[in-house]
Amino acid sequence: PRDPGDPNSPRLWPVGTTYTVGVSVCAPVNANAGLGPAVTVKAHLEGYPRVADSVILSTNVIHVFDLVADAETTELSANPGDTWIIPTTVTNTGNGPDRYDMRLGRVYDSAGIDVLWDIDVPRSILTELTRDTSQTVDITINVPTQVPAGDYTVVIQTFSEEDYPDDTGHRTRLRDEVMFQITVNEFYDMQISMDSSIDNPVKISAPGRIVEFVVNVTNAGNVPDTPSLHNHTSTRDSSTGNVLWNTLPGMGALSDWKVEWKMVNYVGNDLVVETPCVETTSDADDFPDDVCVYMTDIDEWRLPEMDPYTTHMMIATVHIATGAKLDTRYIGLKVTSMAGNMLEDGDHDDSPEWAGELLDTNEMILTLRLKAPNLVVDEVSVERYSDEVGKSIPVKVVLLNKGNVHATNIEIVLCEFDGYDNEMEKEIRNNGCPEGSIVSRQTIGAILGVDASDEPEPVEVYLLYPVSAGSSDVVVVVDPTNNIVEVSESDNIKKIDQELSSDSPFFDVAGQVVSNWALPFGVLMLTFSLFGVLYLVGKGRRADVKDRLAEQSSLISVLQEDEN
């Protein structure tokens, strides 16, 4: 008899009776997707094992898709323009292989508004993951260079190759999401640059000249800023020859130089307006909103408040000292943030140093190569100081060009004066020789500057002084009209050490006076003689007329007596 409590005890099976037997096959938790192991169900008569039958049951394990994505970090604090590479691992926790995909879902700000960011997901290297395997890829998050400060969320989504019901029963390929919480900091970044199509930071000039440089001042930060403008100078190390920059603003060794600023505004497409900075003091009650200012009490130039990612075009005007040495000079232009430098948690790349890689985006080096001739009247001499009137005395003039560039079309004149003094010399320096005093003139095509030996090559010139009666001070003047820009104009004049005169100055002058007055006096005497002749002729004619009138009167009186 069958024991009901024993499932393996035999049961009575009458002929013609059919029983339905239920078989439950449970797949293990770690069963792989696909066909599982076959299960054989067998029945036989007790005591007669050969009287039996069996059936083989096959099982198919459903493919469960499940992925888990984990990032090394999900909270970041960044500045505009930063780049973050975040290793992210995707693990296949399903029961079969999965050729997964990963891509950017969205980027949105704290208000839920989608924004555009550059997120690089290397989808080309994604591989098929077998069960319980993983792959780590580097996700690159490029923070935009122009982005307001605030909180942003970057969503990276992971997809299976086929859809599968999620926890809510919705069929989807989306398996997991990684949320990166990124805080963009308040960022100060002032920059100065130059458009190569408009201007050049390297220029050739001369002492006493004014040179202008057109630059762009940009607020590349994400907050409003009020920048200040400074200039720095450098010196050269006598032992190494290296350029050493002064980290403190000011003209330093170039104390006679000056740097000024102007703003450039465009009216329409063509009209350009240059606006000088307004002079004020640092303790003024208010400052202009649309023009730069120069605070005289602290010697500082300041721009009006600039919104994020805006640019002002500026002109830096460099006034070169008249006595500047002919050399290559460097002037540093620097724009600083009101928040301070990088050491004060202000401008992120504002460092005090200027050399090499330490040159920041808020610094610019201008190069001025000073080249100019320097004409010098080195020697003036004559073989004799007197000669006959009408002849010429050769005047030897030795010229030097002590500058570092050649001079062309050089005019040399001889000027004569009676009683030459310092006042006349000042007048000649300012206005040149009076045209009436110039007695000889000559033009030289060119004089080269100093060579590698730093020794100028002398140029010898002869001018002819026409001798006139008397004596005069004779002065040699180079470039009398100051057409040539030189290092110094103080050595362009030289006086002959003695007066040049005729052989007998007193008698020559007297003879010249007599000769000058002889002709006018003779003409005057001749004129008086003519008047005398006219007077005598007139007088004779008047006497003749009177005699005739007397005769006629006598005749008339006689005739009247006869009639009576």
Q: Do both 32 and 177 map to the same domain?
A: no
Residue 56, H or E segment = strand 48-57
Residues making up the chain, counted from first to last: 564
Structural domain ending residue among the three candidates 17, 47, 62: 62
Q: Do both 127 and 196 map to the same domain?
A: no
CA angle 391–394–395, rounded 5-degree value: 135
> Does residue 301 lie within any of the structural domains?
yes
Fill in the amino acid letter for 370.
L
pLDDT 10s digits, 76-114: 999 999 999 999 999 999 989 999 999 999 999 999 999
Number of domains in the chain: 4
Q: Do both 241 and 355 map to the same domain?
A: yes
- CATH number, domain at 85? 2.60.40.10
- The single residue listed with the structure tokens 């009458």 is 14
> Does residue 246 lie within any of the structural domains?
yes
> Does residue 140 lie within any of the structural domains?
yes
Structural domain ending residue among the three candidates 37, 62, 87: 62
Q: Do both 333 and 226 map to the same domain?
A: yes
Instruction: Measure Cα distances from 21 to 4, 10, 41, 88, 342 in Å.
Output: 16, 14, 10, 52, 83
The answer to whether 90 and 127 are in contact (CB under 8 A) is no
- pLDDT of 509: 44
> Does residue 557 lie within any of the structural domains?
no
Q: Do both 55 and 71 map to the same domain?
A: no
Q: Do both 203 and 351 map to the same domain?
A: yes
> Does residue 218 lie within any of the structural domains?
yes
Instruction: Measure Cα distances from 87 to 69, 70, 75, 122 in Å.
Output: 11, 9, 13, 11
Could you tell me the end-to-end alpha-carbon distance of the chain, in angstroms, rounded to an integer?
232
> Does residue 268 lie within any of the structural domains?
yes
- pLDDT of 462: 93
Structural domain ending residue among the three candidates 42, 62, 82: 62
For residue 15, count CB atoms less than 10 angstroms from its CB and return exposed for 0-12, middle for 13-18, buried for 19 or more: exposed
- pLDDT of 34: 83
> Does residue 515 lie within any of the structural domains?
no
pLDDT 10s digits, 385-428: 888 888 899 999 999 998 888 899 999 999 999 888 888 888 88
For residue 268, count CB atoms less than 10 angstroms from its CB and return exposed for 0-12, middle for 13-18, buried for 19 or more: exposed
Q: Could you tell me which residues come within 8 angstroms of residue 158 by beta carbon, excluding any fewer than 6 positions away?
A: 67, 69, 90, 100, 101, 102, 174, 175, 176, 177, 178
Measured CA to CA, the distance from residue 225 to residue 419 in angstroms comes to 67
Q: Do both 278 and 210 map to the same domain?
A: yes
pLDDT tens for each residue of the chain, 564 residues long: 567 777 777 777 777 888 787 778 888 878 888 887 888 888 887 777 787 888 888 888 888 899 999 999 999 999 999 999 999 999 999 989 999 999 999 999 999 999 999 999 999 999 999 999 999 999 999 999 999 999 999 999 999 999 988 888 889 999 999 999 999 999 999 999 999 999 999 999 988 899 999 999 999 999 999 999 999 998 888 788 788 899 889 988 888 899 999 999 887 777 889 999 999 999 988 888 889 999 999 999 999 999 999 999 999 999 999 888 888 899 999 999 999 998 898 998 899 888 777 889 999 999 999 988 889 999 999 988 888 888 899 999 999 998 888 899 999 999 999 888 888 888 888 888 888 899 999 999 999 888 766 788 899 999 999 988 888 899 999 998 888 888 888 889 999 988 888 876 544 444 544 555 555 656 667 777 777 777 677 777 777 777 777 766 666 665 666 665
Q: Do both 254 and 292 map to the same domain?
A: yes
The answer to whether 158 and 101 are in contact (CB under 8 A) is yes
Q: Do both 486 and 420 map to the same domain?
A: yes
The answer to whether 319 and 205 are in contact (CB under 8 A) is no
SS (H, E, C) 143-189: CCCCCCCEEEEEEEEEEEEEEEECCCCCEEEEEEEEEEEEEECCCEC
Q: Do both 228 and 351 map to the same domain?
A: yes
Fill in the amino acid letter for 225.
D
Q: Do both 338 and 439 map to the same domain?
A: no
Beta-bridge partners for 150:
184
- pLDDT of 507: 44
Measured CA to CA, the distance from residue 548 to residue 278 in angstroms comes to 102
Q: Do both 302 and 443 map to the same domain?
A: no
The answer to whether 484 and 407 are in contact (CB under 8 A) is yes
Closest by Cα among 344, 67, 364 to 217: 364
> Does residue 540 lie within any of the structural domains?
no
For residue 395, count CB atoms less than 10 angstroms from its CB and return exposed for 0-12, middle for 13-18, buried for 19 or more: buried
Domain extent, residue 333, equals: 190-370
Bridge pairing between strands 171-184 and 101-109: unpaired
